[in-house]
Chain A
Amino acid sequence: MGQAQFQKALAMLIRLPEHNRQNLEQFLAAHELSCEEKENLRVLAHHREVNKFGYKMRNGRINYILESIPISLEYVDQENFIDLIKKEFDPKHSLVYARKIYRDFRAFMVSLRELPHEAWRKYLGDPPEFFFDLLEFEMLDSELEFQGFGERPLMDQSPLLHTSFEVLSLEYRIHDFVEKKRNPLKKKSSRILPFKEKTSLLFLKEGEGEYGYQLYEIDDVGINFLKKSLLGRKAKAPSYYQDLVESGLCK
């Protein structure tokens, strides 16, 4: 195994969900990989330290860290953010990671228009719960120039927004932002989750304690509105999300 092969196998290992890790041979049988790629992945997965490292570094860890932290706007500064992450998750390992997460978020928040496409995908693929709150905070705080939005939508200005999903996400965000500008006292936030193939579930939080969703089907042509429902009052949004996951509605 050379460095390039090692990197490829390590990248696969980091991406590998836990159930596939536990049933590696099943995973390998179900995927079209070369014999060499399969063998390399086996070697790393069976190497105690590498496997442990891969587990810690898997992509989901970012969301795990972030979602495990009761973050709110007061934490949006580097010192507190890093301290929080260190306190909540693996304090001996996470400093470089914390810096990176902080910087990624800061990058996203401060410079929405310049954010690389890859970063969009990274976040919009599975946005953490407080994602939009942070974004909104930064949008308000950093005085990004959204005034021209009415005549020239931001999504048309940006070559970075390629997919319907991204447009949908931004569309809702801008709508939310404008609403908030109009009525600062009205509490409203949302989040979007990937929903099956080519489908997105837009979570709504309407007013205090009311939750609902909008379901969209996204194809190559555009966005088809499927369903909207307000499910009434719930104590907490996360439990509502959990209900949907358990019901199989949301992957």
Chain B
Amino acid sequence: MSQISSGLEWDMRLERELFKHARHFDAIEVIPENFFFAERIQLTESLRRLKATKKPILFHGVELSIGSSEPLKRDHLSNMMRLMEILEPTVYSEHLSMTEASGVEIGQLTPLLWTKELADYIAQKIRYVQASVGIPFLIENISNRFVLPYTEITETNFINRILNSAKCGLLLDITNVLTNSVNYDFDPYIWIDALDLSFVRQIHLAGGARDSDNVLEDSHDQAVWDESWQLYAYVIRKLGPIPTVIERTGNIPQFDSLVQEAKKARQIQETYGLTAMAA
């Protein structure tokens, strides 16, 4: 992938348009679990078509549950690696969350208790994953549906501790930062500044909506918020160009508007990122 780049997320509903307009963006993000069937990988037509695009493929896993206090789900990782052999992704990211708790499949990205002990345990699991997959591995900050009172350290310290210990990358989800900042009333710019940005390897942008309790959600069903673009530009000014993916999985608009968002991410990288690099 070139240094300035923007991509879109694969979705079955978007597939035809995605492949048709592939020249307008640089990479395709894939949720690998969408291709897991019955604990095995099936070489579906979608997989064949994805491979045929020759675009860099970015894996974005949703079910490794790397934040759980249980041991790593090695069978799940094995499936992931089998799919990697087929699609040859350039990077593999997972959410810094859990989707299983004590044998219960939660089915949602669930926040963790931010403690040093857990950070160290997650870093240990990440080291194993990195050694296994052989491609860059990233963790992504999530939008927190709740924050527990028993946290020992801040979220940014928790993330930094994992990054520095595991030496993995960070997939910085700008919209998740904004979502949390609104729901928990903090300054997203200060949050970003507290993060060790040297680990950022990829960025996510999306839009969301408020639920019935007026809680902001990272629901991926709206255009990217203006505030997200502003925070994105702030990060790019600091870091230079970073591969960026627009996430849109609900309320799917005309494909052209997604292409425009991908182009806008490229423009911001060109405008602010190159300046940052020169400085």
Nearest CB in chain A to that of B103: its residue: A11
B211 at the interface (CB under 8 A from A): yes
* In contact, A47 and B146 (Cβ under 8 angstroms): yes
- Given the known A-B contacts A3-B69, A93-B108, A106-B38, are A11 and B13 also in contact in the complex, defined by CB atoms under 8 Å? no
Within the assembled complex, what's the spacing in Å between the Cα atoms of A79 and B103? 29
Within the assembled complex, what's the spacing in Å between the Cα atoms of A202 and B165? 55
- Given the known A-B contacts A7-B101, A92-B219, A110-B37, are A50 and B148 also in contact in the complex, defined by CB atoms under 8 Å? yes
B113 at the interface (CB under 8 A from A): yes
B272 to chain A, nearest CB (A): 31
- Given the known A-B contacts A6-B150, A47-B148, are A92 and B211 also in contact in the complex, defined by CB atoms under 8 Å? yes
Among B33, B103, B219, the residue within 8 A (CB) of A99 is B33
Chain A residues positioned under 8 Å from B106 (CB to CB):
10, 14, 57
A232 to chain B, nearest CB (A): 40
B115 at the interface (CB under 8 A from A): yes
A29 to chain B, nearest CB (A): 22
* In contact, B108 and A96 (Cβ under 8 angstroms): yes
A103 at the interface (CB under 8 A from B): yes
Chain B residues positioned under 8 Å from A10 (CB to CB):
101-102, 104, 106, 110
Within the assembled complex, what's the spacing in Å between the Cα atoms of A101 and B106? 12
Within the assembled complex, what's the spacing in Å between the Cα atoms of A88 and B196? 41
Scan residues 55-99 of chain A and give those whose CB is less than 8 A from a CB of chain B: 56-57, 59, 62, 78-79, 83, 86, 91-93, 95-97, 99
* In contact, B249 and A95 (Cβ under 8 angstroms): yes
B233 at the interface (CB under 8 A from A): no
B94 at the interface (CB under 8 A from A): no
B259 at the interface (CB under 8 A from A): no
Within the assembled complex, what's the spacing in Å between the Cα atoms of A151 and B99? 43
B145 at the interface (CB under 8 A from A): yes
* In contact, B68 and A7 (Cβ under 8 angstroms): yes
B88 at the interface (CB under 8 A from A): no
Chain B residues positioned under 8 Å from A115 (CB to CB):
38
Scan residues 93-118 of chain A and give those whose CB is less than 8 A from a CB of chain B: 93, 95-97, 99-101, 103, 106-108, 110-111, 114-116
A49 at the interface (CB under 8 A from B): yes
Map CB proximity to B onto A223-242 as digits: 1 under 8 Å, 0 otherwise. 00000000000000000000
* In contact, B68 and A1 (Cβ under 8 angstroms): no
A8 at the interface (CB under 8 A from B): yes
Map CB proximity to A onto B43-72 as digits: 1 under 8 Å, 0 otherwise. 000000000000000000011000111100
Within the assembled complex, what's the spacing in Å between the Cα atoms of A2 and B116? 10
Chain A residues positioned under 8 Å from B217 (CB to CB):
92-93
- Given the known A-B contacts A10-B101, A57-B108, are A107 and B37 also in contact in the complex, defined by CB atoms under 8 Å? yes
Nearest CB in chain B to that of A109: its residue: B38
Known A2-B117, A49-B147; further 6 A-B contacts with Cβ < 8 A: A1-B150, A3-B117, A47-B149, A99-B62, A107-B36, A107-B38
Q: CB within 8 Å of A: which residues of B?
A: 12-13, 31, 33-34, 36-40, 42, 62-63, 67-70, 98-99, 101-110, 112-113, 115, 117-118, 121, 145-150, 208-209, 211, 213, 217, 219-221, 249-250
